[in-house]
Amino acid sequence: MKAIICKKYGPPENLEIVECNAPEPKDDEVLIKIYAASVTNSDIFIRSSKVPLSLFIPFRLMMGITKPRNEILGEVFSGITEKVGTEIKRFKVGDQVFGLTGMYLGAYADYKCMKEKDSKKGGLAIKPNNISFEEATSAAYGGLLALQFLEKGNIQRNQKVLIYGASSTTGTIAVQFAKHLGAEVTGVCSAKHIDFVKSLGADNVIDYTKPNSINELEIYDVILDAVGKAKSSDLKKACKKSLTKNGKYLSIDDEALLLDSNRLSRIKELVEQNVIKPINDKCYSFDQIIEAHKYVELGHKKGNVAITVNSLN
Ligand SMILES: NC(=O)c1ccc[n+]([C@@H]2O[C@H](COP(=O)([O-])OP(=O)(O)OC[C@H]3O[C@@H](n4cnc5c(N)ncnc54)[C@H](OP(=O)(O)O)[C@@H]3O)[C@@H](O)[C@H]2O)c1
């Protein structure tokens, strides 16, 4: 099978397409033919190994000393099950699925074996039937993060919710989900994304790059930082003081992403009911992986970026 490996931590050029043996599923595994994979900030983080000095040793011990222990990168995928082990109950051959591999990676390849039970090795569910494989990677990644953190917000109808980083993979889904729950939603993004964030349903949009944008802040019941601790602005710092007495400030980096197949199945339903429309900024071909990594590394993608690994025809 073809796969994209990271030969050594460093720039996108360290990624290489190679031929290697396809994995064989064990009794408790399914073999998935991958049709699309996401290129996320986490992939960039792992490939580049650009971590704060204090995390350098723990990161290398966990992920691998000079290159990722699993050199095939990619954490988010969608595809079709091609073989199922004898103990598999939830899936049959030919199911269209989507999911995440956790830190075991391996989605940038023709094939990947997954367990059907949730674990640190991933979560897997039936893919929404009304979107492409590429869109399904956006739904899996942004959807899991958005729902995990917004559920902690316990949003009630007519509450004011602010989504910081509303144009990100998670932000685009968080805006739509918060609207679905009946909130009045304010999205924060840069000027070029204002119309886009409004089109997702946001009632108000604040441009974090505009001088004095802090004056546009109101008082919110729930604030979700959907871009993580590495991305900030004066507006983001000011947000933390713009909460009601019992308001909740949630950051996407507060806790590890849960690889939860029940939540994935809930996302499937929300997508099929047209409550959530997963957004892809760009889709690259498999051999454009270096360009895809360079684009995501710029830090301004609109929603998700996917690579097409295989095509149905
Ligand atoms: N908890 C976990 O286990 C877990 C797992 C995975 C990821 N994460 C976190 O999720 C983050 C997001 O990853 P991603 O792949 O989805 O990338 P992303 O958030 O889609 O990044 C791109 C977006 O960030 C926005 N942005 C960039 N700088 C900003 C700033 N200073 N203020 C507001 N918005 C800004 C850009 O909008 P503009 O172009 O409009 O600026 C763009 O839409 C990661 O960096 C990581 O911190 C956490």
Domain ranges of the chain: 2-127+279-308, 143-251
Mean pLDDT over each residue of the chain, to the nearest integer:
96
* Cβ proximity of 48 and 290 under 8 Å: no
Any atom of ligand 1 within 6 Å of the Cβ of 237? no
Ligand 1 nearest atom to the CA of residue 235, by list position = 32
What span, in angstroms and rounded, lies between the C-alpha atoms of 116 and 262?
12
Q: Whose CA is nearest to atom 14 of ligand 1?
A: 41
pLDDT confidence of 99, banded at 50, 70, 90? very high
Q: Do the first three CATH levels of 2-127+279-308 and 143-251 match, i.e. the same topology?
A: no
Q: Is the pLDDT of residue 313 over 90?
A: no
Any atom of ligand 1 within 6 Å of the Cβ of 119? no
What is the rounded average pLDDT of the residues 60-83? 96
Report pLDDT for 178: 98
What pTM was estimated for this model as a whole? 0.96
227 Cα–ligand 1 center, Å: 3
187 Cα–ligand 1 center, Å: 14
Angle at 99 between CA 9 and CA 23, to 5 degrees: 65
Report pLDDT for 52: 86
Angle at 46 between CA 40 and CA 50, to 5 degrees: 110
* Cβ proximity of 193 and 218 under 8 Å: no
Class of 143-251 per CATH? alpha beta
Evaluate whether the domain defined by 2-127+279-308 bears CATH number 3.90.180.10: yes
| Closest by Cα among 20, 36, 72 to 286 | 36
What is the rounded average pLDDT of the residues 112-123? 95
Report pLDDT for 51: 87
